Structure 1
Amino acid sequence: MAQITMYTKMLCPFCSRAKKLLKEKGVEQMEEIDITMSSKRRSEMMERAGGAHTVPQIFIGGTHVGGCDELYEMDRQGKLDGLLAGRA
């Protein structure tokens, strides 16, 4: 399974929804980076995500997926399973 990194904030319903979908897809491990109290981590996220400042920001392997809506759209299009398996 591809490495997954998700930037999150406390009490974020979109973050919870994205984590739920990934869990349903069999993801057991991911790096979750909470930016709630860290301006350094927020800056890191924005740099990696091309300036995006909303959470979650999700990276699967070397691909920046975007946020929760983009993750669900990728799943609807049938592209998420391949990406999670490392077949981008």
Structure 2
Amino acid sequence: MKPVEIYTTPTCGFCQAAKRLLTQKGAAFTEIDVSRDPDLRAAMTKRSNGGRTVPQIFIGGTHVGGCDDLYELDRKGGLAPLLAG
């Protein structure tokens, strides 16, 4: 499986939902908490081409977007192949 990175904050319900879907799909992920580190948040925003909200999700270096984008990708049948590489 491709590596998954998810930028989050502890109180974000959308972050929890995204992590739950990734877990259901058997994907291990690295969680990056941006709540207390403005440099990490700035890096997330730059990496996601201006995305300032959490979560911001990357699969194998590809920017997926946020929680809604992740669920939409799954509904369209694109999440499993992206995770598999």
TM-score range, shorter chain: over 0.9
What amino acid is the match of 2:32?
A: I
Q: Write the deviation string for residues 63-86 of structure 1: whole angstroms up to 9, x where unpaired.
A: 100000000000000000000001
What amino acid is the match of 1:30?
A: F
Q: CA deviation at 1:3?
A: 0.5
Aligned residue pairs, count: 85
Write the mapping of 1:3-22 to structure 2, written as runs, cut at 5 A.
3-22=3-22
Q: CA deviation at 1:62?
A: 2.0
Are 2:75 and 1:76 equivalent residues in the alignment? yes
Q: Distance in 2 between matches of 1:72 and 1:4?
A: 15
Q: Deviation above 4 Å: which 4+ runs of structure 1?
A: none
Q: CA deviation at 1:10?
A: 1.2
SS in 2 for 1:64: strand
Unaligned runs of 5+ in 1: none
What amino acid is the match of 1:53?
A: R
Q: Write the deviation string for residues 40-61 of structure 1: whole angstroms up to 9, x where unpaired.
A: 0000000000011000000000
Unaligned runs of 5+ in 2: none
Q: Distance in 2 between matches of 1:31 and 1:41?
A: 14
Task: Give the root-mean-square deviation of aligned CA atoms.
Answer: 0.5
TM-score by length of 2: 0.98
